[in-house]
Amino acid sequence: MTLLPLIFDGVLGFTLLWLAWQLLGSPDLFRAIVLFIAFGLLMALIWVRLDAPDVALAEAAIGAGLTGALLLAALARLGPPSETASLDNQGDRASVAEGGGLPFRRWLVALHLVLACGLGYAVMSLPSAAPGLSDAVANSLALSGVSNPVTAVLLNFRAYDTLLEMGVLLLALLAVWSLGSTPDAPPDDQPVGGVLALLARLLTPLLLLVAGYLLWVGGRAPGGAFQAGSVLGAAGVLLVLAGWRLGRRFAQLPLRIMLVAGLVLFMAVGLFVMLVGGDFLTYPHASAGGLILLIEAAATLSIGMILAALFLGIRPDSRADQ
Amino acid sequence: MTFFLFFALVGIGLFTLGLYAVIVHPHLLRKILAVNVMGSGVFLLLVALAKRSDSVDPVPHAMVITGIVVAISATALAVILMLRVKGETGRVKLPETPQE
Amino acid sequence: MSVLIFSIHWQVMVVLLPLAGAIACFLWPRRGVMLALVCALGTTLSVAGLSWLVVVEGAQRYTVGGWGAPLGIDLYVDGLSLLMLIVTSVVGVAISVYANGYFERSRARAFWPLWLFLWGALNALFLSADIFNLYITLELLGLAAVTLVALAKGAQPLSSAMRYLLVTLLGSLLFLLGVALLYHSSGSVDIAILAERLSASPVVWIALGLMVVGLLLKTALFPLHFWLPQAHASAPAPVSALLSALVVKASFYILIRLWLEIFPPNNFVLGQLLGLLGAAALLWGNLQALRQTRLKMLIAYSTVAQLGYLFLAFPLANIIGWTGALYMLLSHAIAKAAMFMAAGNILRFGGHDSIADLDRIVQRLPLTVTTFALAGVSIMGLPPSGGFVAKWLLLEAAIRSAQWWWGVVLVLGGLLSAVWIFKVVGYAFTPSPVPHEVRAVPASMEWSALALALTAIALGLFSSWPLALMMVGLPFGEGGGS
Amino acid sequence: MSWNSALPLLVLASSLFPGGVIFFLSEERVVTRTVLNLAGATLKLLLVGVMIWGVFHGEPYESRLPLLPGLDLVLRADALSLLFVTLSAVLWLATTVYAIGYLEGSPNRSRFFGFFSLCVTATIGVALSGNLLTFLLFYELLTLTTYPLIVHRETEVARRAGRIYLTYTLAGGALLMVGTLWLYTLSGTLAFTAQGFLSTLASSEQSTLIMIFVLLMMGLGVKAALIPLHGWLPQAMVAPAPVSALLHAVAVVKAGAFGIIRVVYDVYGIQFAATLGVTLPLAVVAAVTIIYGSLRALFQDDLKRRLAFSTVSQVAYIILGVAIVGPIAAIGGLVHLVHQGVMKITLFFCAGNIAETLGIHKISDMNGVGQRLPWTMAAFTIAALGMIGLPPLAGFISKWYLGLGALEAGQGWVVIVLACSSLLNAAYFLPILYAAWFKPPPERWPAERSFGRQETAWPLLAPPLVTALLTVVIGLLASAPFSPLQWVHFITTSEYLP
């Protein structure tokens, strides 16, 4: 092993740990979130280093980008940063007092060190040869309808996981809409002019294009519904930031249909192949590629819409309701 | 020590750091950040150890993508709850004594 | 007829119907009630169909996607999972009927899809034979449960929901870390394959330890119960019912699955430790229940206590003990749901649930008091009730395995719970001179709660059927019964 | 399901069903409620009559439902259970009539009569139990159904009594459950069998069996009010008079005593119990209870409290009769189960009448009551004399057989106990009789209610007169066929003769 990659890996890993340390300890919440976004981007780099480009794409778009945007928006809604920072600091001191003070923290640190050592020992004691499923995936890949193994796992071998996961996403939206009528709902209802609007107008078509590309290429190369969907979601976030809102006409049932389209189509295809004669979600080998693309297309749309809606945080028709 | 084991250990470091932060930091936003860091640690471990075989094992990759989506769903819910708690109590932390 | 029953993939229906119902309620919120009730009925029928299948043909393994483990995901249903599905259906139908009367329109709109999502998550969890899939169902379950808690008005429900969310996420991540380690030490996430491949090594023990702690956090075993009382007490009544009856049981179900299938055999110390924590929960929960001033808080602490019973099976570790614990789970789920619903009726009727002022309320709600008393009989473990059968079996297991001290704990726990149950029931025998300002309680709320309480009693009279059912597929291993 | 296996269930249903219906009746529907109550009680008597005839001619009556793995809910009519069933059925009818009169116009009557019927159902269940598990089930049901009756008056005192009652009985029930289960794990069966089913167990289990016996006796002794477990009984006096009557004569204390009989005879077997050496300590506890109860009764001024301590003492006679190993003493004990019931219920009815009609609760206020309530006091006198053991009344028969049996078994000390107890009985009953009949009545009674020419309401007067008559009849006609004494002879000869 040459020295250069070693140094590279070391720098990556320790920077990541350092970033985590900084973002969790920083007294300034804004700075913490910015560090968190940087943390996410660094994670994406590590994913690439670990030969996981699909994960890297998802991490960059969702882990760093959308989560960061969500947190920043939340911070903005919490109130002026100075106030929250001071409140936070008070809180920190209070927690030391309430938790039994310094001895408590010492115990906690010791406990975590023990935990980390135990886990480290566990990892080191794993056999060096991985008994993973790479061979099994490789053997069945030809039958899966796609050539990107990650997509094959996500949408064919373990499609049931993915279906439930779409459910989690939809559920999160439901939750946010049920709880989201905060008194201090986002004030930015008037269209924002200037740079942001311009940026949005320029970037949105580009992002749509990227999303379409990722979706299309996902069967063969890194990409797929989640990556495409998150790019779409990013476009949506941008539009929301620029002050664009869905028309009243679409905010009702049509919007909801688009939100659930991915999950419904997924379930429908699964049931359809079941009626044809297999088990649930058993695609016929010949049409597997097409069915997966169909599901992915609908899923991309729904994921994008849901992510944007999660960012918006309230039901688009909530005012119409009252 | 090979590099993937190193990254797995980094993952463990992130997990423990996050766990510690969840427990000691009272501010809810910081707790949310900490949970996300913990999640990243688990994901890192999951993928790094998959590098032990020469050919890439895509199953952990798929699992991590799933995990990332679950994480943002949970974060979105946590954020909205945090905002509601702030709206109702005026504070961004949980009441100190869970009893009564 | 029978061809139809055997050709339908009931496992899939059991999971997809509630999810589809949730989506439908989301799309057409105005029809929520009707859609949800239809869906509840459909799900129950599917569970019935699945039961038929399992009873006739034995335990079933179902390969989703046709790949089969380790590449694909399997669903597995035996007596143990079937029993959980049935309990969920019984409680689920009653809660649906109850909630119909409970929620006003604006909150009903949020409740129905969330509740159906939760139901779907529970069913998926009980069917899953794949630990990563279990992680996703756990997350689905957790997020739905947290949101349902936050549906109640006021600051306290929100705070407890927030705490609950953090706890459930922490639990899930601990579980996931364990899953990651197990995958990398065995190359599979399927429970049956794991059971074959795993042997006692440090990694396996650490992984299982992480999973156990994560699950205990979600099951709220003493001393990890700190989040439960407030979350369960401040949620809307039907939500409290389903949290106490079903949600905490789901993580317990995973725990016994793992324990029975993939834990290495020499786990004596861990079993004793779990039993010890269970005993502590039993005593502590009941003592705390006695100290409470609010009825729902009291019932929530009683859940902490009753969860302790379930863990007494771990040190006993024989078939009678497991069936006893499972029977306890079953009867507690039903009785506790009934009890929370009764508390909801009282709250609705009098506008408060302060125990000291109950005298003005309970005399005017004879059905609700009956519900509370009958559910209380089961929780105390007096005959004839499901709780009695469960206690009998657990006690028998304790005596047979010559560990009589667990028996002492069992008896003591029952007597302690009697104290608070009769403290509440006693108010039914207090004259109430002042007519209180009251709101009518819909008949559906009173009768659905009473139906559940009667079921808990009936479980004591007709125990042979559920006991035979849980033996399908020998989830507790070979060996003679009693 | 054949007639023979349905009959025990029907006997239960004849009070369970009216009870269930009565809960849903509104307060005003007095007639419906009364009809249901009386019809149920009469029907039960008829069914019991059929069973007596059948059992006498060797018919088996048994109902079975699966309850637990390997254990059924068994209801079986044998000679011993019929003794208790008959007592309960007869006295239930009397008490129902009495309660209808007693509670006239008071609130919550539907609730009262509902639980009243359930309570009798549980008692009948206790009597008909064919194994220890079934017994345990109905024993606990009895606890639950009597609690609402004890707190029926809804006063603070009543609730306190209810709490004390529950504390004792639930703890006792828990001990009984542990003992039962332990026994089951040893023997694999719980079915009541003549001569018991434990004597075949290995001798190494003997110390365990003794421990289980102690557990069972503690569990049952609570309801039978053996000292030191009798604390709840005097407290429970706050209940309305018909409830006290039922509690003392039929339901609760008798269930405990009956359970002890069952355990000694049908679980352990009297010979085996004697070999284990557990009968003598039991006899001593019973003897101490007899003396202690009488002594305490002597110093009570509250009439119902004095009667309560008298119950503590009298029920121990039954247990004493069982614990003296010998057939004649067994006859004395078993027949006292009936005799004490009939006499004690008379006394409580009368005490209720005195309280209801004149407002008198204390013995010191009873001067001259006999002139105002001659019929009531006549009934009271007969029952009290019976308790003392005056021939030819019912109590004499019991004591006679007990004494003979003790001598036959070589336990001479028992005779001394009996003599002391009779003296004490006389000491706490005769002053009451003297004051009531021979002292001048006061100017005004504390709270007198007028019933025209009658001394009190008919439903209140008829039951004690009937039961007092019974006290005389079963004493006089003790040797007639189907008298309690003959039936007890039948039990001991057909099943128990060691």
Q: Which pLDDT tens digit goes with each residue over C284-307?
A: 999 999 999 899 999 999 999 999
Average pLDDT, chain C: 90
Q: Which of B10, B24, B91 sits opposite A108 (nearest CB)?
A: B24
Tell me how many domains chain C contains.
1
Q: Which of D154, D162, D171 sits opposite C415 (nearest CB)?
A: D171
Q: Which of A17, A168, A176 sits opposite B13 (nearest CB)?
A: A17
User: How far C293 CA sits from the closest chain A CA (Å)?
Assistant: 25
User: How far B39 CA sits from the closest chain A CA (Å)?
Assistant: 10
Domain B3-89 of CATH type 3.20.20.190: no
Quote the pTM value: 0.92
Report the pLDDT value the prediction gives residue D246, as an integer from 0 to 100.
83
pLDDT band at B98 (very low <50, low <70, confident <90, very high): very low
In angstroms, the Cα distances linking C277 to C271, C416, D125, D364, D425 are 10, 17, 39, 59, 55
Cβ contact C383–D147 (<8 Å): no
Cβ contact D177–C395 (<8 Å): yes
C482: chain D residues, CB-CB within 8 Å: 69-70
Which residues in chain D (225-264) have CB-CB distances under 8 A to chain C? none
Query: Assign residue A119 a region: left if phi > 0, alpha if psi is -120 to 50, beta otherwise?
Result: alpha
* Most confident range, picked from A129-138, A271-280, C5-14, C165-174: C165-174
pLDDT at B97 over 60: no
D158: chain C residues, CB-CB within 8 Å: 429
Distance CA C372, CA D19 (A): 20
N residues, chain C: 482
Closest CA to C336 of C382, C388, C292, C371: C371
Mean pLDDT in residue range D424-436: 90
Report the pLDDT value the prediction gives residue A322, as an integer from 0 to 100.
33
- Asked if residues B42 and B12 have their Cβ atoms less than 8 Å apart, the reply is no
Q: Which of A119, A122, A256 sits opposite C26 (nearest CB)?
A: A256
How much of chain C exceeds pLDDT 70, in percent? 96
Q: Which of B6, B18, B57 sits opposite A134 (nearest CB)?
A: B57
* Sole residue written with tokens 């399997």: C74
Q: Which of D144, D159, D163 sits opposite C382 (nearest CB)?
A: D144
pLDDT band at C3 (very low <50, low <70, confident <90, very high): low
Enter the ipTM: 0.90
* Sole residue written with tokens 């429908």: A268
Give the residue, B74 or A275, on which the prediction is more confident. Answer: B74
Q: Which residues contact A284 (CB under 8 A, 6 or more apart)?
A: A273, A276, A278
List the chains bordering chain C where 3 or more Cβ pairs fall under 8 Å: A, B, D
C392: chain D residues, CB-CB within 8 Å: 68, 177, 181
Distance CA C189, CA C181 (A): 10
Cβ contact B49–A169 (<8 Å): no
Mean pLDDT in residue range A145-170: 93
- If interface means Cβ-Cβ distance under 8 Å, which residues of chain C face chain B? 132, 136, 139, 143, 146-147, 150, 154-155, 158-159, 161-163, 165-166, 169-170, 173, 176-177, 180-181, 183-184, 226-227, 229-230, 297
Q: What is the pLDDT of residues D169-225, one digit of tens each?
A: 999 999 999 999 999 998 888 888 888 888 788 777 888 999 999 999 999 999 888
Q: Which of C67, C113, C143 sits opposite A168 (nearest CB)?
A: C143
Report the pLDDT value the prediction gives residue C2, as an integer from 0 to 100.
61
Distance CA C355, CA C345 (A): 14
The verdict on residue C313 lying in a domain is: yes
Report the pLDDT value the prediction gives residue C385, as an integer from 0 to 100.
92
Q: Which of C154, C158, C297 sits opposite B81 (nearest CB)?
A: C158
Give the residue, C471 or D482, on which the prediction is more confident. Answer: C471
Shortest CA distance from C147: residue in chain B:
B77
Cβ contact B37–A99 (<8 Å): no
Which residues in chain C (364-393) have CB-CB distances under 8 A to chain D? 377, 380, 382-384, 389, 391-393
CB atoms within 10 A of CB B44: 29
Cβ contact C395–D137 (<8 Å): no
Shortest CA distance from C151: residue in chain B:
B81
- Asked if residues C109 and C60 have their Cβ atoms less than 8 Å apart, the reply is no
One-letter amino acid at C119 equals W
Distance CA D215, CA D201 (A): 19
pLDDT at D496 over 60: no
Mean pLDDT in residue range A178-190: 57
Tokens describing residue A67: 């989560």
Distance CA D169, CA C159 (A): 43
Shortest CA distance from C17: residue in chain A:
A267
Distance CA C52, CA D427 (A): 72
Cβ contact B42–C177 (<8 Å): yes
Distance CA C210, CA C175 (A): 6
The verdict on residue C349 lying in a domain is: yes
User: What values do phi and psi take at D189, rounded to 5?
Assistant: -145, 160
How much of chain C exceeds pLDDT 90, in percent? 68
pLDDT at A91 over 50: no
Cβ contact A118–C120 (<8 Å): no
DSSP characters over D415-471? HHHHHHHHHHHHHHHHHHHHHHHHSPPPSS-TT----TTSSS-HHHHHHHHHHHHHH
Tell me the count of A-B CB pairs closer than 8 A.
255
User: How far B81 CA sits from the closest chain A CA (Å)?
Assistant: 7
B17: chain A residues, CB-CB within 8 Å: 17, 20-21, 24
User: What values do phi and psi take at D77, rounded to 5?
Assistant: -100, 110
CB atoms within 10 A of CB A187: 8
Cβ contact C146–A175 (<8 Å): yes
Mean pLDDT in residue range C211-228: 93
C187: chain A residues, CB-CB within 8 Å: 130-133
Report the pLDDT value the prediction gives residue D1, as an integer from 0 to 100.
63
Q: Which of B52, B63, B82 sits opposite A74 (nearest CB)?
A: B82
pLDDT at B61 over 60: yes
User: How far A59 CA sits from the closest chain B CA (Å)?
Assistant: 7
Distance CA D482, CA D497 (A): 19
- Asked if residues C387 and C460 have their Cβ atoms less than 8 Å apart, the reply is yes
State whether residue A191 sits within 8 Å of chain C by CB.
no
D9, D106, D169, D181: best mutation site toward chain C, by most C Cβ within 10 Å? D181
End-to-end CA, chain A: 66
Report the pLDDT value the prediction gives residue D325, as an integer from 0 to 100.
82
The domains of chain B are located at 3-89
- Asked if residues D219 and D175 have their Cβ atoms less than 8 Å apart, the reply is yes
Whole domain around residue C282: which residue ranges? 269-482
3-state secondary structure of A242: coil
Closest CA to C123 of C114, C111, C134, C112: C134
User: Peptide bond before A5: cis, by omega within 30 degrees of 0?
Assistant: no
pLDDT band at C209 (very low <50, low <70, confident <90, very high): very high
Choice among A69-73, A94-98, C253-257, D18-22 with the minimum mean pLDDT? A94-98
Tokens describing residue D358: 């004149």
Q: What is the pLDDT of residues C55-71, one digit of tens each?
A: 998 899 999 988 887 89
Mean pLDDT in residue range D227-249: 84
Mean pLDDT in residue range D75-99: 89
pLDDT at D161 over 50: yes
Shortest CA distance from A257: residue in chain C:
C27
Cβ contact C23–A264 (<8 Å): yes
The verdict on residue C450 lying in a domain is: yes
Bridge partners, residue A142, by sequence:
none
Give the residue, B8 or C430, on which the prediction is more confident. Answer: B8
pLDDT band at A101 (very low <50, low <70, confident <90, very high): low
Cβ contact B20–A112 (<8 Å): yes
C430: chain D residues, CB-CB within 8 Å: 154, 159
Q: What is the pLDDT of residues C247-278, one digit of tens each?
A: 999 999 999 999 998 887 778 889 999 999 99
In angstroms, the Cα distances linking D106 to C436, D25, D29, D109, D460 are 23, 15, 13, 7, 15
Distance CA C470, CA C345 (A): 33
pLDDT band at B100 (very low <50, low <70, confident <90, very high): very low
Average pLDDT, chain D: 87
Q: Which of C28, C110, C185 sits opposite A178 (nearest CB)?
A: C110
Mean pLDDT in residue range C367-392: 92
C206: chain B residues, CB-CB within 8 Å: none
What secondary structure letter does DSSP report for A50?
A: T
Report the pLDDT value the prediction gives residue C265, as an integer from 0 to 100.
77
Cβ contact C133–A281 (<8 Å): no
Shortest CA distance from C110: residue in chain A:
A178
Q: What is the pLDDT of residues C126-162, one digit of tens each?
A: 999 999 999 999 999 999 999 999 999 888 999 999 9
* Sole residue written with tokens 């139901």: C119
- Asked if residues D235 and D243 have their Cβ atoms less than 8 Å apart, the reply is no
Report the pLDDT value the prediction gives residue C105, as an integer from 0 to 100.
82
- The rounded Cα A220 to chain-centroid distance in angstroms is 22
B5, B14, B42, B96: best mutation site toward chain C, by most C Cβ within 10 Å? B42
